[in-house]
Structure 1
């Protein structure tokens, strides 16, 4: 399917077709840029840093980029960070697993979204041990964010493995750009109770900013199986940034923070067939980070940056269960068979087939003897607690040098050393580690004034995956002033994580009831006792790979008195292969590199300011996705769109409304309408802002999976912010 000669022919035909369309478009572009027509100068074009690690006008970068700034965040009415990413064309965003958000560019799998890099101030929050991004626990609140730059397309040439389908770069506010204190509160239905306290201060040679925030809600699924008691969430966050201007040339930035979370989680479906829960399951997490950035400005043409950070994650899920007797189906001491040495041996003898193991258990002599021992114990039930535990640490050191080689060439190059460590009794039976060494370079050249050529590459070697190289090439041609055509080609990879490479699943049981507590050797045949199901990775996975080709257009129209109009269009073809598409859990562990996906489509984003009081922002994507494995299409919407309109009514009042569409996620459409009414006024030296937000689903379909039946649950809240 992917990488076929037939597809190359189709791509060439489509390129020629779009080239014809663009050539037909050029006379209109020229007319729009005639000498007496208003247009944006190059200095007014937004600048971005993320795509190639170079500070460039968005019209010159080798990728499509979406910018979400503080204003867009505020007028969107979003309460959580992941929600504003619905403003990115082609981005799949949903709470696909109860209260756990899922975010994926050109979504494929709905629960295992491990193919996109997320940065906060340059620090990767892509967790190395278990290949995921935990959006609930990111130690940053929306109010801390200055802007978000989303590179839409593979960016491994700039950031290495795992910048596979794109990069989300979350940039927090520089404390030198803020002053004073801010207190925010929010309350609404579904138990919404949020609060934030932020403070910033400027001193002689620098400034600091710190915020403490708390989010509470009762979730969505209360009263609906399997979450009759709801899926409540509680998250507390600390975020700080301090800047020291050591000299006119030297700047030191200190980043620090962390989060604590508690999420109600649904029962594990595989365990529900074997046991009854005697207490609710909670996912409890703790995260902390500390980072330093030192920048030296040798001259306006030469800058050196050294960055170092460390981060820690600890997460536990409790499973409080009373196991049913496999022979009678009722609770009793026979439930201990599931944690017996004999059933584990039978499971391994049956090639790790759960069904065959349980079918053969009744006739196995060893199992019969163990069952008799359990029945003679006099216990009324077999109950205990199992833990799904993960701990991850990362230490990262990077040196980056940016040089204006000539008036027409700029180069950024650097080296990176990283150590990742994952620890889990449940998933690794101990500890796994990985050390990576990496070199990168990106070059932007202007051979003639209207043309920018971008070349980049990232070499890396790590202990698990060996040596790899990811290239990218792009060309931008400013056809007429304010209007640029773009073409780019990139290859990228996602390397298997520690869990995929070194998994050895063993689920021990603790806190057993009497007489099993302290007597596991005699009653269960071993100590400690483990659940009979186990999985082990063969350690033979190859990296997932992607090849991307893109044609694009970026234009700006009608600046000045007529307002502003900005348009970006992207046509792309992405071929993904060697994908790990199977489930990787205690009951099913499929590590085959047999998945293939092809994305082909068009995306567009438009921003229009007809005057100072109005802003209209539209995005849309139409994507054809073909996959050889059904799970890779669950989160891939054929059509998606967003529309956001903001109106400053006057007198401190404002109104905004937003519409979001994804058709479909796993055959379920997502459609929602949001509205926000705001009022801002001053009391002496204090500014007070009020807002009322309603999020109203336009259908009653589940989201991705049938158990997520919260589309009919309207949410609303009122918030107040005091700045002094």
Structure 2
């Protein structure tokens, strides 16, 4: 018995001693610098570790030596090393790879080398983030080939690919740890306002084409996914502080600062938590463009109907008998906005692994608050906006199921154009102002004045006593207007809408003996619109509607795993529309003895549901009444209008009620109304016949090649997009009395008794586009990195059947970007520079149209690493040379930024 007990204890001790075998080591690059966040995996077992800031790792295991370890990191070639002893520290050197060595997740919802991706994917990782020559990593996305970053303001920028985007880009989706960060009411992504802190970002992946087959509605012209760091893999406290100045001719030189901190701790193999906080404050780009939209060659002094780009309230105009159109005197944007820019972001996460393996339960919460300017049909100043997201996710390597809620609060947001109009109205109503103008003009002409002199005298008289910015009287009325959510008297943008979303995915490849990679998934989304009738037609209660979708994908390799086929299909159904299928098929083939060349071809489809505003808006934007075209919205949108004296004589009514249905069933086209106005010929009037809005679809053919050579890599790709039922807006003219085609309706248009409506519909115009990208990356003179890429984009538009249609393509035909730098020019010191050139192009959106001139932007940064302090010092400048430029109409010209920053322990 004693011998048996002794044998058992000896065996137990042997087992316990095997369990405490620990491997330690360090991973460095070719220059001897430590590489953090290197994955160290034990071949054949679910055992691994991650290197820390100093490139060091500790790997406990219970396997018997010798063992084989894999060392892999984004941007470096994978190294395999056999370990025979645990007594000596392991030293591993990783050689830098190319972007084609990166493993990505977004293209097929599974890990795969970007080199073998079935569609074009761009990757932006920790290395690119650290060394971006841009002011921050989000702005640095513009260095990616085929990507445009449109600067709407200092704190709000919009990412776009392949055209058909504006500052409110509803055709592009951004996912933050799987959560769509678009506003439930605005329907476009809030981008860097609520994205991931640069301290917590692990990877950014971009799919520039249609992605609806796997990601559903609105993943239409592009998809951007952010993945944050897991606190199990990236522990510790890291921080950064950055400050400097912005420089702009209109705003002068103004300071800004940007700080952030990340705290992460793995309390055990089961529980880890993290929290992030960032704050940015500065002064936004001033928008002071006073060019006349009606006629750029004329100004306020020479054009009675002047309408300045960044002057608001002058959109109100009236055709005075014998005089012509006269607009009211407006206010400049700088009189209505203080240009404070602020962004405060907080996020936290709890990760729980109950079985100490890949099964993980995650809570993730994100809060964004700040002050910014965003632009749609009008310019909105948004102090104290607030958006929060909360997600619960359960996942392992084979599946995930997640649910999240997005809750928005517009805060103190107001419409600058509506504010200016109602400030004017509160001081003096239109009837009084125009009566004074008309009487003074007629008297001046009768006294022998010229027309120009008469106009000057008339405006001076009508503007007598006008509220002047900076005075207490103006400020009192201004504060009252911007806090009033009734757009007939105020300008406050009231919104507390919500979005609820659930999606799931399961990969069956581990169950089918690797026959093929098979995935299925689905999603459910519900909107809850709450604006109390200020934006949507929800005065009687919130508006709810939902969407559901399911998908499946199969992926299989053939011919010694050189040929890769991917096929997927998705079915989506909105409660408002018929169901929609989105198939995708792709094939790729890897060539060469070293498997360093790949060609691919794909056919993809995408669709975009009409936005919440396309469906349920009911908002008077001064120039036009914007309404959504959901069937139930047409009767819910009702407005009462006072009739003119002539209207009363013709109809016997003192007022009339116009509904949204009138805009679709009793209206004239804008072009015909303008023709009638200039000719007085009633036969020129044509009835408008818009259809109710329905989902938009795209079919895309894409070809591409990727190649890796000794000293450089190259990627070439091209696409052709074909759109069906392209969603657009149409302006129609609704007479306040009479049916279209009757003499009474003609008289209403002649008398000016009509209302302008902007409605959501689909165009009959054939809309297509095509383009290509070429990118080359190389190491030259041994240590210098050079990247050059070129993007070509062109719209193929048959506009013969609808001459007033504007597609908002908004993309230059040619773009060139160059990156040049050296991360180790000498010990611990590096630099990086970028040059971006954009061709001139025509910009069209709901705000207006303009010719955007070509521009060249140069950014640069210097960085110095301090290993003993685990710190890095960075200084740089954007738009060196200060040649101010702009991306589209309405925004402030973009000047320069100069900065210096320090980061600590940033893995």
Answer whether TM exceeds 0.5 for this pair. yes
State the partner residue of 1:577: 724
**Which of 35, 54, 73 is the aligned partner of 2:110?**
54
State the partner residue of 1:235: 343
**Which of 290, 314, 318 is the aligned partner of 2:414?**
318
Q: Structure 1's 625 and 390: CA in aligned 2 closer, same or farther, altered over 3 A?
A: same
State the partner residue of 2:870: 687
Q: Do residues 256 (structure 1) and 365 (structure 2) align?
A: yes
CA contact (8 A) 2:694 2:761 kept: no
CA contact (8 A) 1:231 1:265 kept: no
State the partner residue of 1:413: 520
**Which of 216, 229, 242 is the aligned partner of 1:160?**
216
State the partner residue of 1:668: 853
Q: Do residues 197 (structure 1) and 261 (structure 2) align?
A: yes
In structure 2, C-alpha distance between the alignment counterparts of 1:432 and 1:681, rounded to whole Å: 56
In structure 2, C-alpha distance between the alignment counterparts of 1:658 and 1:540, rounded to whole Å: 46
**Which of 288, 294, 298 is the aligned partner of 2:394?**
294
State the partner residue of 1:371: none
State the partner residue of 2:736: none
- Please list the CA deviations of residues 111-135 of structure 1 after superposition, one character each: whole Å capped at 9, or x if unmatched: 3311111111111123343321112
Q: Which has the larger radius of gyration?
A: 2
In structure 2, C-alpha distance between the alignment counterparts of 1:197 and 1:592, rounded to whole Å: 46
State the partner residue of 1:650: 826
Q: Structure 1's 82 and 184: CA in aligned 2 closer, same or farther, altered over 3 A?
A: closer
Q: Structure 1's 81 and 249: CA in aligned 2 closer, same or farther, altered over 3 A?
A: closer
CA contact (8 A) 1:700 1:709 kept: no
Question: How far off its partner does 1:501 sit?
Answer: 1.2
State the partner residue of 1:273: none
Aligned length: 602
Q: Mean Cα displacement is larger for which, 148-157 or 250-259?
A: 250-259
CA contact (8 A) 2:787 2:818 kept: yes
- Other structure's SS at 1:71 match: helix
Consecutive unaligned residues of structure 1, counting only runs of 5 or more, are 1-38, 271-279, 298-302, 339-379, 509-523, 526-531, 559-563
> 1:493-504, aligned counterparts within 5 Å?
493-504=607-618
**Which of 179, 185, 204 is the aligned partner of 1:148?**
204
State the partner residue of 1:465: 577
In structure 2, C-alpha distance between the alignment counterparts of 1:266 and 1:470, rounded to whole Å: 31
Q: Do residues 305 (structure 1) and 400 (structure 2) align?
A: yes
**Which of 625, 636, 639 is the aligned partner of 2:811?**
636
Question: How far off its partner does 1:266 sit?
Answer: 8.8
CA contact (8 A) 2:235 2:264 kept: yes
The TM-score normalised by the length of structure 2 is 0.61
CA contact (8 A) 2:537 2:616 kept: no
**Which of 423, 431, 449 is the aligned partner of 2:530?**
423
CA contact (8 A) 2:548 2:573 kept: yes
Question: How far off its partner does 1:104 sit?
Answer: 1.3
- Other structure's SS at 2:213 match: helix
State the partner residue of 2:293: none
Question: How far off its partner does 1:476 sit?
Answer: 0.4
In structure 1, C-alpha distance between the alignment counterparts of 2:507 and 2:376, rounded to whole Å: 51
CA contact (8 A) 1:535 1:589 kept: no
In structure 2, C-alpha distance between the alignment counterparts of 1:315 and 1:249, rounded to whole Å: 39
In structure 2, C-alpha distance between the alignment counterparts of 1:184 and 1:233, rounded to whole Å: 19
Q: Structure 1's 269 and 479: CA in aligned 2 closer, same or farther, altered over 3 A?
A: closer
**Which of 739, 755, 761 is the aligned partner of 1:592?**
761
Q: Mean Cα displacement is larger for which, 628-637 or 100-109?
A: 628-637
Consecutive unaligned residues of structure 2, counting only runs of 5 or more, are 1-94, 247-254, 291-309, 311-332, 434-475, 485-489, 623-641, 644-656, 665-690, 733-754, 843-851
The TM-score normalised by the length of structure 1 is 0.76
- Please list the CA deviations of residues 14-34 of structure 1 after superposition, one character each: whole Å capped at 9, or x if unmatched: xxxxxxxxxxxxxxxxxxxxx
Q: Structure 1's 533 and 722: CA in aligned 2 closer, same or farther, altered over 3 A?
A: farther
Q: Do residues 544 (structure 1) and 727 (structure 2) align?
A: no
Q: Do residues 608 (structure 1) and 778 (structure 2) align?
A: yes
Higher RCO (C-alpha 8 Å, min separation 6): 1
- Other structure's SS at 1:465 match: coil
State the partner residue of 1:390: 495
- Please list the CA deviations of residues 311-346 of structure 1 after superposition, one character each: whole Å capped at 9, or x if unmatched: 2111142358787799xx8864536999xxxxxxxx
Q: Do residues 677 (structure 1) and 862 (structure 2) align?
A: yes
Q: Do residues 489 (structure 1) and 665 (structure 2) align?
A: no
- Other structure's SS at 1:161 match: coil
CA contact (8 A) 2:348 2:365 kept: yes
Q: Do residues 217 (structure 1) and 386 (structure 2) align?
A: no
Q: Mean Cα displacement is larger for which, 700-709 or 195-204?
A: 700-709
In structure 2, C-alpha distance between the alignment counterparts of 1:265 and 1:415, rounded to whole Å: 33
- Other structure's SS at 2:187 match: coil
CA contact (8 A) 2:124 2:203 kept: yes
CA contact (8 A) 2:565 2:587 kept: yes
Question: How far off its partner does 1:154 sit?
Answer: 0.6
State the partner residue of 1:182: 238
Question: How far off its partner does 1:465 sit?
Answer: 2.4
**Which of 500, 505, 518 is the aligned partner of 1:400?**
505
State the partner residue of 2:888: 705
State the partner residue of 2:78: none
Q: Structure 1's 330 and 723: CA in aligned 2 closer, same or farther, altered over 3 A?
A: closer
CA contact (8 A) 2:162 2:209 kept: no
State the partner residue of 2:27: none
Provide the aligned C-alpha RMSD in A: 3.6
